[in-house]
């Protein structure tokens, strides 16, 4: 069953049985933050061109909190502007989409129901916070990186969908987060460094403790690296994708170094890459890079594919990030 684009306010469209089907087998679908229409979309990987106005079947799932009573208290009319993250995670027996938006929205959304696991409004309408990504921890708590706010927050989301208690640590330009289950640390990336935080305290009163930090590679000595995307390398456990303003790297956790020795580096490595990720079954990599002439300078209509080269185009879109649909 394909999940269509209707009923977006509820985050899901259902087929005639009233039940949602699992994602079909084959190449993984693509999950995007579509800022022009303020939606998260899961799109058909078999189509080179995505044009829902002409072919609604390209949309397998859609989410927006606007008009959804389950998210009314976090004021999505104000806070859900420029959705900046969408990544899929498994927690317990459930699949969740983690999402943030630049004007303060942060949430963990159950797929496919759109049910609220947790959501918060981190200063709606106030760009001094700017949530840029999120991560869910094994105990059910949720970390949020606030780029303009220069902080990483760890919310006691295990207390419930409306929990507001949090711990925080300062990190200039906080952009990326990844929970490292093997080492039991929360990796966070800012403008200039990659940091590992230990999680201490209790489930209901957590604390973040800095354990380790390493400077990001810089293209020009004395200037900020501009750390942006941090994501696990699915095909090589123990490595993380790292993008900066000028380049793309993998960080070897055990070796403690940044490298560009990965397959396809000649085409993947370039400046202004907003997100990067690989499919472990095929080795294919997705990236997004801004293109000129759109509504915002950071938007694109193109999801680039590598190994082998290719692309998807979203008609009249404003894509920020695109990730393979790979629950982990």
Confidence (pTM): 0.91
Q: Domain for residue 318, yes or no?
A: yes
CA atoms within 13 A on the CB side of 192: 9
Q: Which tokens hold the place of 97?
A: 């989409």
Number of domains in the chain: 1
pLDDT of residue 328: 84
Pairing of strands 39-43, 30-34: antiparallel
Q: Domain for residue 2, yes or no?
A: no
Other CB atoms closer than 10 Å to residue 224's CB: what's the count?
15
Report whether 248 contacts 239 (CB < 8 A): no
Q: Distance between CA atoms of 26 and 324, rounded to whole angstroms?
A: 12
Query: How open is the CA angle 5-93-114, to the nearest 5 degrees?
Result: 25
CATH code where residue 40 lies? 2.120.10.30
pLDDT profile of the chain (328 residues), mean per 10: 32 32 70 98 98 98 98 96 97 97 96 98 68 97 95 97 97 97 97 98 97 94 94 97 98 97 97 98 97 98 97 98 96
Range of the domain at 316: 8-324
Query: How open is the CA angle 229-234-239, to the nearest 5 degrees?
Result: 65
Q: Domain for residue 273, yes or no?
A: yes
Q: Domain for residue 3, yes or no?
A: no
Please give the order of strands across the beta sheet that includes 206-215: 176-180, 185-189, 193-201, 206-215
């Amino acid at each position: 069953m394909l999940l269509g684009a209707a009923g977006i306010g509820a985050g899901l469209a259902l087929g005639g049985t009233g039940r949602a089907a699992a994602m079909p087998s084959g190449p993984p679908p693509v999950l995007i933050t579509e800022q022009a229409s303020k939606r998260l979309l899961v799109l058909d990987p078999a189509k080179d061109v995505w044009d829902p106005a002409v072919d609604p079947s390209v949309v397998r799932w859609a989410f927006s909190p606007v008009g959804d009573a389950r998210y009314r208290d976090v004021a999505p009319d104000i806070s859900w502007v420029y959705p900046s993250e969408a990544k899929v995670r498994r927690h317990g027996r459930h699949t969740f989409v983690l999402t943030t938006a630049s004007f303060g929205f942060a949430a963990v959304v159950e797929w496919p129901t759109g049910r609220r696991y947790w959501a918060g409004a981190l200063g709606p309408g106030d760009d001094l916070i700017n949530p840029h990504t999120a991560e869910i921890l094994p105990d059910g708590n949720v970390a949020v990186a606030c780029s303009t706010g220069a902080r990483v927050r760890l919310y006691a989301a295990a207390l419930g969908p409306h929990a507001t208690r949090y711990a925080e640590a300062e990190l200039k330009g906080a952009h990326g987060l990844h929970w490292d289950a093997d080492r039991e640390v929360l990796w966070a990336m800012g403008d200039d460094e990659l940091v590992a935080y230990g999680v201490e305290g209790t489930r209901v009163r957590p604390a973040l403790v800095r354990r380790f930090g390493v400077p990001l590679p810089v293209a020009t000595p004395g200037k900020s690296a501009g750390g942006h995307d941090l994501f696990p390398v699915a095909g090589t456990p123990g490595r993380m994708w790292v993008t900066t303003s000028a380049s793309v790297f993998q960080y070897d956790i055990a070796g403690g170094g940044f490298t560009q020795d990965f397959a396809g580096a000649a085409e993947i490595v370039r400046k202004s890459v907003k997100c990067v990720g690989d499919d472990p079954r095929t080795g294919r990599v997705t990236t997004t890079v801004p293109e000129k002439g759109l509504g915002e300078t950071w938007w694109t209509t193109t999801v680039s594919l590598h190994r082998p080269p290719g692309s998807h185009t979203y008609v009249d879109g404003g894509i920020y990030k695109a990730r393979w649909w790979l629950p982990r």
